[in-house]
Structures are given as structure tokens and as C-alpha cells.
Chain A
């Protein structure tokens, strides 16, 4: 049986203590297989961001267990002393807005992560060029960020998330600022990249247009995670509308 890319068991997160304690996550469990793209849905305040921050090793869960591939990274406590390294080497992030570094050009934004991993400049730039090629924006490599459209910037952000070959990508409403055509285009990219590299992708979204493309959905209600089957509709991108 294939090892899940990420396995979450009984994950809890409580903010505060005593009478003022707020339980943001209650025994959440999930499993995402390599190459799979799952949706994480829920109303505002349901705990989506908390779950993403726990999975991204940004905040400390109160209990539970997280496995990345075959490695336990959290079991009541973090198994990595340096969580910054864990994030750098094992997790990719795509945000609601691209949040690219404005003073670096497109190529440098993508190459930054491999460089932080200790790769040589030549290796890092080669990897960045390869990803930009795959994402169809290689011709923008030398451009400044503000010269790109919103959709192109989001592609660069996806390239940056993939630059360290992470087993998992956490995408926090990656289509929020985009129109429906560009949103679908980004979803197709995420699916293609997941399929191509075997990366698991968890997409937090409110976007009703893209929810049907997920084959599996996790829905959070008051900190409790429910698994639901998705429609798994094929992604159709209207290329003409993107021009």
C-alpha cells in the first residue's frame, strides 16, 4: 500500500487556557496521498487557517500526530528542532496573494528557496528555469514582479512552492484574487504539478467554482474535520479568456 504524503491523526489545537480557552481544532484526522489534490473547506473561523498553520509547522498543535511521508514530524511535540528547516525542505506554500519578494526578479524569487537549501547558484537557477518552463512563464524569468499580471504572479508563487521538491503543498485560497478563468487555470496547474511530481496538495478555498474539481474534500465545522467525496469534475480552462 502506498504511503500517504501526509497523515494527520487526532490533531488538536486550543488557544488560551481555562475558561477563556478556545478549541480551534478537535481531533482532526486526514490523509492525503502523493499526487492528490484535496480541498479544505469551511466557514470563516472554522479552523482552516489553524489547521494549515499546524500542518505548515508554523504554530504548535496541542496534541495529535503528523507524518510527512514515512517520517513522523509531530507526535505531541515537534520532532524537528528547527522548524524553519522543516518548512524550507519539506513543505511548499502558496498564498491567497502571491507574496513574491518585490525586489527580486521572477527567476530569483523561484531560485531563492533552493539557494536557502544550500544548492549552488547554478543548480538553483537551473531548477527555477525548469519550473518556469513547465509553468509556461520562462520568457518572464528576468522580469520584475510588478511587470507580471496577477495570474502570472500566482504561477511564479506556485513555481516557488515547488522549487524545493516538497512532498506537500499547502495552498491558502490561491485563487481568491483571480477571476473564474484564471482561478481554473491555477487549479489546473496545481493538479498537473501534483500529478507530475507526486506532490500532495491541500487547497483551502471558498471559491464555489473550483470546489467541484476536487475528488476529495475535507470540511471543517467548529474545529471538527469531516471527509466528503468531491465531484472530481475535469478542469476545463478557457485559454481564449485568459488572453
Chain B
């Protein structure tokens, strides 16, 4: 038997292909949105995995250090290390900023950590870990930095000694690791003019600069102009200890908030990106509806243009299943072309996005299934219209 769908499509293949490609762009956008969501989730997880912490200790009653500001003294680590079950702990400071390098501005998340303690970049893809106390950094590949590059950050120049992959902030910015002291200085350092003015104000204040006690001014300045705050302390537990129990101890005795790794994941993924996820979900739903409407309208209008021929086919005895099959096959073909074009498009343009777009095989398969179901459902309007055509309409004016 002649394939009516194949012949019909072959007859107007250019228009059919163009419609399929148009649908493909829409499917590509849909897949991209799903990829953006996956990227956000993966970014949140990447940070947690790199940290490799069992507990995140932050300022009391905060969701820090990413969802809310958190500031604790870097001396609290001693108390934390004294809690039974704590094997290792490391102070960390995070801040997002823009740095200029090679004439380009790059938005990064700086992570200050104490080398040899939790909070570092983990496995490197090139170079070496930070070994000096100052002015070295390890950067994620997406920063565009290379080993040996010198990157000016605030007052100092930092040398890139190592490169890591897949280390991004929950906002998708590539991470740059540097010694904690440097991060603290960057985070809290005032500019020279502000320091000068503050110092003058202190010198002019007889309470802080009494003639009989010249050492007092120096002590006050040291307190005011140096920084010993961090955003969090990352904790690794000794084997056999429950994260929940150790977290409860820290909360109770140190008056800090401690989150287990799972709780921090919930904060990062469940809360921090929840609104964005809902936004994307709604957008995906709208795109799906628009795709369905486009396929339905296309197939419906394709059917409408050949109602007379369908009437003749019915009149000469063509069974309904052949006519319906033609319409359904054309619709599915449109979906297949659209899906293929969409998949190719998203594969091509995903790396061009500034933020991380993750194309998951499962999402692709779901998109294929949804596309085919949409095409099947959308073809029903065309099938219904074709089956309602009376063969009598082929006879007479």
C-alpha cells in the first residue's frame, strides 16, 4: 500500500521541514530551560561535593553562608574542634565579586580556606594546590584563567597555581580559591582614604589616644582595622559519629547553627533555587502548551487544505484508519523533526550560555516522550476534522 503520509510530506517537504525546524527551536528552548534548572541544581551540589564537609557551622539562627549572611569569629574553630566526634574543621570565607583579567571582567566567587583543612577545591585538573600563605589562587576553568596568570584583586596580585573543574557557586559563578587570610582581607579591607580618615578620628579622640598611654591607640586600631571573621566552619567527623548528634552538640554548647550536609543541600537546592525552579517550571509548562498548540494548528490546517481530497479518498473506499494514520504519522514526523532539531540546537548553543546548562539524558528522553505524546494528542483535532468529512462532499458543487 502506498504511504499517504510519506507522499503528502514529500510533496510539500520544504514547508513541512521548515515547520519542523520552527518547532525544533521551541523544543530547543524547552530543553535549554530544563538544562538551566539542572545546572543550578548541579552547581549547588558541586560546591557541597567540593567542600566535602559533614557539617556546616554558621552564625546562630541564619541559613548561611549562601542563603543568608553569616559571620562568626575565626577563633570559634577551637571550640568546634573540641566537640567529640569532630575530626577536622576549617574556616571558610565566601564572597562574590568581579575581577578584571586580560581586559575582561569576570564574575567569580572567592572562597578563602585554610590549606590542609576542609573547604579547599579538592581535585585539580592542572597545576598544584595552594602552598603559600598569601597571593596564590586555584581557579575553576570557566574563569578563563590559566596557570601562571597574575590576577589583580583589590590591592594585591595573585598568581594562578592550579585549575579545577566544575566548581561553581550556587549562582553559577566560577569559584576561585585562595588562602583564608587573603579572603578576609579582601572581604573586610577598607580603602586607604577611609583608613586614613578613621585613624585621624581615633588620634583626635583623647579617650583612645591619651597622652599618658600611647599604646592604647595601637591596640584599638588593631581591633578595628583587622578582620578575624569567617562565614562558616566546615567540619569533618570522625568515623562512627552521627552528624545530627554532633550538630546538636555544637548548637547547644557553642551557640552556633550547624547544618548537616543533607540540610545544607536542602537549603541550597530546596530553598535557594526554589523560586527559580518554580519560575522555570512554569515557563516549561507554557512552552509545552505553546508547542502543543503549534503542532495542533499546523496539523489541523494541513488537514483543512486537503478536505476535498479526503472526501474523495473516503468516497472511493479508503478506510478511516488509513486517513487517520496519514494525519497521525505526519504529526509524529513533525515531532520527530522538531525533537531532532531541538536536540541539535540545544547541544550547539548550551556551551554559549554564560551559566552552567546541564543536558541530562533523562530530560532528553522525557522531552522526546512528551513531544511524541503532544504530537499524538495534537493530531486528534486534524483526525477529528478528517473523519467528520462526508464522502458526499466530493459530489456536487
Residue ranges of A at the interface with B (Cβ–Cβ < 8 Å): 49, 52-53, 56, 58-59, 84-85, 87-89, 93, 95-96, 99, 101-104, 108, 111-113, 115-117, 121, 144, 160, 172
Contact = CB atoms under 8 A, between A and B. Distances in A.
Contacts of B316: 87-88, 93, 112-113, 116, 160
A52 B306 CA distance: 23
B314 interface: yes
Contact of B7 (A87, A108, A111): A108
Nearest to A95: B394
Contacts of A117: 317
B87 to A, nearest CB: 74
Nearest to B311: A99
A101 B323 CA distance: 12
B395 A172 contact: yes
B224 interface: no
A93 B395 contact: yes
Interface string B265-299: 00000000000000000000000000000000000
Interface in B297-318: 306, 308-309, 311-318
A101 B396 contact: no
Contact of A49 (B2, B4, B12, B395): B395
A53 B396 CA distance: 9
B319 A99 contact: no
A58 B312 contact: no
A116 B318 contact: yes
B8 interface: yes
B1 interface: yes
Question: Which 5 A/B pairs are nearest by Cβ-Cβ distance?
Answer: A88-B317, A103-B11, A49-B396, A103-B8, A99-B312
Contact of A104 (B7, B315, B391, B396): B7
Nearest to A163: B316
A101 B312 contact: yes
Given A99-B308, A99-B394, A101-B309, A56 B315 contact: yes
Nearest to B1: A115
B315 A93 contact: yes
B397 interface: yes
Nearest to B391: A58
Given A102-B309, A121-B1, 11 more contacts: A49-B395, A53-B395, A53-B396, A56-B315, A84-B319, A93-B315, A103-B7, A112-B2, A115-B1, A144-B11, A172-B395
Nearest to A87: B317
B262 interface: no
Most buried by A among B2, B4, B322, B392: B2
Contacts of B395: 49, 52-53, 56, 58, 93, 95, 172
A56 B303 CA distance: 25
Contacts of B309: 99, 101-102
B220 interface: no
A101 B318 CA distance: 12
15 contacts: A49-B395, A56-B315, A88-B316, A95-B395, A99-B311, A99-B394, A101-B4, A101-B309, A102-B306, A103-B4, A104-B2, A108-B7, A111-B2, A112-B316, A172-B395
A100 B287 CA distance: 39
Interface in B380-397: 390-392, 394-397
A95 B317 contact: no
Interface in B122-147: none
Interface in B6-61: 7-8, 10-12
Nearest to A98: B312
Given A56-B395, A103-B11, A172-B396, A115 B308 contact: no
Nearest to B6: A103
Contacts of B397: 96
B2 to A, nearest CB: 5
B49 to A, nearest CB: 56
Contacts of A58: 315, 390-392, 395
A113 B316 CA distance: 7
Nearest to B316: A113
B334 to A, nearest CB: 16
Contact of B317 (A84, A101, A103): A84
B299 to A, nearest CB: 15
Given A56-B395, A102-B11, A113 B2 contact: no
A113 B319 CA distance: 11
